[in-house]
Structures are given as C-alpha cells and as structure tokens.
Chain A
C-alpha cells in the first residue's frame, strides 16, 4: 500500500492513528507492529513470514551478542550479518547469480540448453531497507552503541515500522531506541508531523508524478533526439528527487504522528557544489549507513591515500549494487565512486575550488545527471543511446523534434529546478511558523489529495530497491 493512495489516506492512516491514540502506552508498540504487518501484507501476505523470520533471527542474534560470552559474541554477530545478507542476496541477487552460473557452465558445453533453472522470485518490497535496519541493530548492540531490545514486540515494531518500512529512511536502532521504550505525543509533534506529511505528499503527487510524464521522452524506448534526451533525463532527476524525498518527508511526518523521531534523509541535494557535497545531502540515511558500517570498518581514510580511494570506490560500488542486481546500478555506483575518489585526491587543488559557486553547482549536477542516465537505463544499449543523444550525437535525424516531449515538462522543468535550487527544503520550510504558511500548506494538501483521488497512481520509485 503506497502512502499516496485512497486506501491509505482515507482508511488505513486514520484507523491506525485513531486506535493508537486510544490505546494505553504499553500496547502501542504491539499495535504498531500489527498495523505494520497489515500494511506489508496488503502487498503480499506470505512475505510477512519472511519479515517475521528476519526479525526473529536478528532478535535472537542480538540477545546472544548482548548476553553471550565475549568470544562467542563475534561469532553471533557474524552469523547475523551472514544470515541477513544471505537473505538479501537470495531474493535480490539470486536471479543474477543463477544467470551467471548458467553462463559459466554453458562455456564448457556445446548445446544452448539452460542447466541452472531460472530463479524467478518476487523481490520483497523494501527488503534492502529492512535488512539494513536489522543489520544496524546487531552491529550497534555488538559495538555497545545500543542495548538489546526490551522485548520481541518492540523489536518487531522497529523492523516493520510502516512509515519507513518499504522505502526508508534507513532508521538505525540506536536512533530510535529511546523512542521505542518511551515517547511523548505532544501536539507540537502532531503539528510538525502533519506539516511534513502534507509537504511530502504534495512533493510526491504534484511534482514527482508530473515530472514522471517527461521521463519516457528519453527512456521510453526508441532513439531519443537531443531534446528528448535532455527533457527525459532532467525530468528523471527531478522525479527521483521529489519522489524519494517526498516519501522520506511523509515517513518523517508519520513517524512524528506516532511519536518517533526519524533522521533527515535529504538536504537539498541539487544545491551541492561537488560530488562529495552531494553525498552529504542525498539519501543521508544510506550514505551514513555505508560510512559507519562499511567504509570505516574497511579502514576509512586512516590507511593511506590509495587505500582511501579504493575504499571510497568500493563502498560506492556496493552502494550501487544495493539498489539492485543490475550492471547499470554498478556503473552508477562506480561513476560516483570515481568522482568521490578523484575529488578526495585533488583536495585543495580541485580546479573548481576557486571558481564561482555556480560552476561547481552546474558541473556537479551534470555529473549527477549522467549518473542518473545509467541508473535509469535498462541496459548498456539504452544508456549509450541516451548519452549520445544528450551530447547531440543521437542516431535519430530529428534531434529537435518535440513530439515525444509532453508539454507539461517544458513548462515545469524550469520551475522544478527553481524549486530545487532556490527554495528551502522541507526541513527549512517547517521552521517557518508564519500564518501564511498554513494557507500554503492547506492549499498543497487540498491539491495533492485531489490529485490522489482523481489521477492515476504512480508507484514510489524507491519501492523497487
């Protein structure tokens, strides 16, 4: 069930919040866990068992880590990491591994028949998010940064917490440990939560879904022309940002509605002036997760410059792979890893260091945009097709043909970039408490709801990861 659907907005959310408010404090986590499983089961009931199994396994490992003898603790941590990653690998990368294995085996054979069966499993929605959350729990407990969960119900509520279950932000256990045990529900939390939710909904429904219309111009198949490629790529950059950050805002807002404080996931990423800066602003919960649980354990920047570059590169490569089993995600990760390492190597000697701010802004956005082309493409063929068209070498003779470009995109693309570059983000907007903000938000709320009720639903992009 997506947030921007009639069922969620008109039935699920009011019912869940209403019952939650009526229940005494000690039942609230249980109710949240139950509602979250209902939320997940709405999509596929049988995969609730998977979620439950992952929860139970990591709860058990966490308990052993917290209470076990010193030498056994590490073994339990390893078991937890291996188990969780194995689950992720099977569902997310199993198909790819099976294909590779088959290709490898077929090298030694002459006939074309497939030896390894096609592994065709349905990817559980949000598995990348909740596996990483479960991992953060056992690692935090092992490191002593968090205490073991008080009860299984608390832990199940944490893993399945529906506001952020399927598309993040990745909330680490240490970040909500306090709120899980005890939280207050003042009207300031409700108000702030409602504002976050409304702004996020408006971003998703009014902005992201509108920009989605321009994306097929470049990625809808066929050979895009020059303008098609630019419209499609810019539209996708905006769609992805408004979609994912809108979802994150809605998650933060819903979390506040239930008394939880979630971390910030986006900080105006398209205002960044370097790729390094970009990763301090884009999908913060993932980049900080990768930093704390991957980059630093790998040695971070403490083992000499070469090792630092290699670490940066490999972390970004894995970050790309996290999005899915596809060479295009790997390419996207490698692209960002390359620039991160290069910027680190250049340091103060970076040529843009002394250039005006807009130079950094523009060049960074161009690099990010090229990354998104790979990210969005279904294969190398499409990726190169769009890239060639972007640089004016498209294979279609009518480079400036506008027939594939929806007129809405032409009007709204500049507007979208104005919003990205010059307006405050949700976290800055909600700091403004002047009455006219209320009018603006009520209007956004009305328009977004109207759009939900009358317009076709576009699924959240990050559900697929």
Chain B
C-alpha cells in the first residue's frame, strides 16, 4: 500500500539509501543532544537545590512561580484590610468624585501607591489629613497609572469650580520617563491648555520607535522564552518572574537573609538619570501642568516616590551588578526636584525621608518585602513629610 504514502515512501527510500554508518551517526547525534540536555537539567536541578532562596524546582518564569516557589504570600502578612485582590472595594464610578472633592482643600492623585492602604484613613490621603489638619480627597485609583489618574481628574472638570486647592500629584520614580508620561505631554499645550484626546496618527509610530530602546530594556525580562532558558542560573542570578498581582516582571533578592521582591522596571529605572529619561520634556510637561492648574486657580505639588529598589539596592544580596551603571542612589529625585524648582514648581522628593525610615524602621519597614508598594510605616513617613511642606 506504499502508493498511499508517496511522499513518505520517497523520504524513506532516500534514508534507506544512506550508508548504514551515516544513518547510525545521525541517530547517535540526535540521541547525544537529548542526553546532554537531560544531564544539564539534572546538574541545574542540583545547583538550584542549593540556591539562595531554596526554590523547590528550576522552572522559574510562570506568572506567580517566584512567590509560590519561595512559599511567600503576596503581602507580608501585615496586610491592610481591603487591599487583597478580591477584597478591594470596587473603584468609585467617575461621577462620585464630585461632591466630596468639592469640599476638599487638598486633592491627592497619582499611582497605585496613593490608592492603597486599606481604609481611607490609612491611605496616604488619610494620613496627610491627619498630619496637616486639612480636608484631603483621594483621587488616585488602583490600577491606573499616575498619568491616567491625573488626566481623569483634569478631564472630570472638578477643578474648574474656582475653589482654590492644592493638587498633589504623586509619581513613582520608575514612571518618570517620556514613554510613561507621553499621554500627559500630548494633552497639554504650551500655555497649559488642556488639548482634546487626540486620535492616533502615523507620527506616533516614529515616537514609539524612538522610545523603543528604553522600553525594550524595561520589558525584555519576564516575557521572553530566552529568559526562561537562563533559569538554571538561578543560584547566581536572581530569578525573574511575573508578579502575580500586577503581572509586572520582578526579581527576587534577599535582604537580611529574607526574600525581597523587586520590579525589574525599578532596576532598569535606577540606571537612568534625568537626562536619559528625556528630562527636558518631563520638566516641560510639569510646567505646562502647573500653568494649567494655575489658570484654574489651583496649586501643584509634584511628589516623587523612590522605588523600593532605590532605597534598598546597596543592601540587597546578591549585589545588583554594578556593571549596569546605576546612578547615585537618590540623585534622580534630587535632580528632578531641583529642575522643577528652577521652573517655579513646588516639588518634593521622598527619597531622604524614606531612606532614613528604612534604616531606623520605627513602626516597621517602609516597604513591603513581597510587593512593590510602601507599607503603613512608609505611608506615614511620606504623609508627615509632605504635611510639613504644605503651604
């Protein structure tokens, strides 16, 4: 019945015509590759068995694997009620912002750092109200970045009622890049006028391409199978995985012998000074924002929150490789604050306060170990620092 498989018959005939020695050599070659891989895998497993944080197996790279392997909870057990996924109350619908914010003297908006904290009085805004004695409204939303949160506030028209307030815009250090801030840069005109959300154009492709290198750097870890193949090196290189909560790529270091999760975007962020992040455009965007708010009779304070990596990076094990060319710890926030100050914008860099808190640890560590966000002690320190500078 060979005629039913004409192609296979042809292939088989060609292989049968091969000299038996060559046939055996070929088979042996494939078998050798097979055995080599299995031996390598065995050796790698032995190595990983003696690794820094004892990982039960070598397969690092599945979302959530890292924490699961290390047997860690997502938060450190000191959990804020209401911050666990599933327990968090639903975000308020857009319109609900209005009545409470109209009475507020200070409006806080920004990244998830400002949205978390459990009950409202435990959140950053609540602590700020406690230390400053002002009425503070929290317009930050979990899951929305600093720009989305800010634009939501600007678009809502809440600020246009002529009532003078202070708008605190909090941005985590790693979000200070023209890529992250692109939406804001596009929406503000030179005189601070709010431009309508623009439909995309081909010009954006070019902009995307020019920003591609920074972006690739931040995102290469985590999603590529190439990274997965490096997993057997886990004892020597901190393993990479996706944080199960935010699906952001993360690494596991050790701090005082205990595991500490660090976002890879925070690591690559520590390599870029203000210039490398497109500093002029960032400063210009902040100036336009300030002009926009000034026209509405509002006052802007820009707050920079250092990444956990920035605070702890000199104390992590294994030492993050110095070949990566990190900038001086804390220098980015200081530089940004100085540049914004020259432009007449009030800015606050939280690095000194949080770094001091990480050394003293009064009331606990300022950041969660297994999460990227700040812990209750960090929120308190930050709110107290800001309260002192409120006009």
Contact = CB atoms under 8 A, between A and B. Distances in A.
B129 to A, nearest CB: 35
A455 B228 contact: yes
Interface in A421-465: 427, 430-431, 433, 438-439, 441-443, 445-446, 449-451, 453-456
Given A446-B36, A454-B229, A400 B204 contact: yes
B16 A188 contact: yes
A180 to B, nearest CB: 11
B12 A192 contact: yes
Contact of A451 (B38, B204, B219, B229): B229
A226 B216 CA distance: 20
Contact of A191 (B27, B224, B231): B27
A376 interface: no
B163 interface: no
Given A446-B37, A456-B228, A186 B215 contact: no
Interface in A188-202: 188-192, 194-195, 198
B30 A194 contact: yes
A454 B61 CA distance: 8
A261 B10 CA distance: 12
Given A225-B200, A407-B216, A442-B33, A433 B27 contact: no
B14 interface: yes
B283 to A, nearest CB: 24
A7 interface: no
B4 interface: yes
Contacts of B9: 261
Nearest to A209: B225
A453 B229 CA distance: 8
Contacts of B62: 456
Nearest to B226: A408
A401 B215 CA distance: 12
Nearest to B179: A403
Contacts of A264: 7-8
Contact of B16 (A174, A186, A401, A430): A186
Contact of B200 (A175, A187, A398, A455): A398
A261 B5 contact: yes
B219 A407 contact: yes
A455 B199 CA distance: 39
B205 interface: yes
A446 B7 contact: no
A385 interface: no
A contact residues, range: 35 or more
Contacts of A227: 205
A430 B30 CA distance: 14
B220 to A, nearest CB: 6
Query: Which secondary structure dominates where chain A touches chain B?
Result: helix
A449 B32 CA distance: 12
A178 interface: yes
B103 interface: no
B15 interface: yes
Contacts of B60: 454
A456 B64 CA distance: 12
B204 to A, nearest CB: 4
A406 interface: yes
A198 B202 CA distance: 43
Contacts of B37: 445-446, 449-450, 453
B200 to A, nearest CB: 4
B135 interface: no
Nearest to A453: B41
A294 interface: no
B224 A451 contact: no
B8 A261 contact: yes
Contacts of A38: none
Given A191-B26, A433-B14, A177 B228 contact: no
Given A178-B1, A445-B30, A453-B37, A192 B198 contact: no
B16 A451 contact: no
A175 B4 contact: yes
Contacts of A453: 37, 41, 58-59
A397 interface: yes
A213 B199 contact: no
A399 interface: yes
Nearest to A186: B16
Interface in B300-330: none
B228 A451 contact: yes
A400 B198 CA distance: 12
B343 interface: no
B197 interface: yes
Contacts of B202: 400
Contacts of B215: 402, 407
Contacts of B59: 453-456
Interface stretch (B17-25, B115-123, B164-172, B360-368): B17-25
A201 to B, nearest CB: 11
A450 B231 CA distance: 10
Contacts of A397: 197-200
B208 interface: yes
A456 B61 contact: yes
A438 B5 CA distance: 25
Choose among A206, A402, A441 the residue with the greatest number of B CB atoms under 10 Å from its CB.
Answer: A402
Contact of A431 (B1, B10, B24, B212): B10
Contacts of A456: 59, 61-62, 228
Contact of B14 (A175, A402, A406, A431): A431
A427 B11 contact: yes
A4 B226 CA distance: 17
B200 A445 contact: no
Contacts of A455: 59, 61, 225, 228-229
B26 A438 contact: yes
A438 B29 contact: yes
Given A438-B29, A454-B231, A455-B228, A189 B205 contact: no
A187 B36 contact: no
Given A225-B200, A449-B34, A191 B229 contact: no
A177 B199 CA distance: 62
Contacts of B51: none
B333 interface: no
A174 B29 contact: no
B126 interface: no
Nearest to B222: A406
A10 interface: yes
B18 A226 contact: no
Given A187-B20, A187-B23, A445-B30, A192 B225 contact: no
Contacts of A95: none
Nearest to B41: A453
A198 B37 CA distance: 14
Nearest to A252: B8
B232 interface: yes
Nearest to B37: A449
A261 B3 CA distance: 11
* A-B pairs with lowest CB-CB distance, top 6: A455-B228, A188-B15, A399-B200, A178-B1, A449-B37, A188-B16
15 contacts: A179-B1, A188-B23, A190-B27, A192-B12, A195-B30, A213-B224, A261-B8, A261-B12, A397-B199, A407-B216, A431-B14, A438-B25, A442-B30, A446-B33, A446-B36
Given A206-B225, A226-B200, A431-B11, 15 more contacts: A187-B23, A191-B23, A194-B27, A209-B225, A398-B200, A400-B200, A400-B202, A401-B200, A406-B223, A427-B11, A443-B33, A446-B36, A454-B230, A455-B229, A456-B61
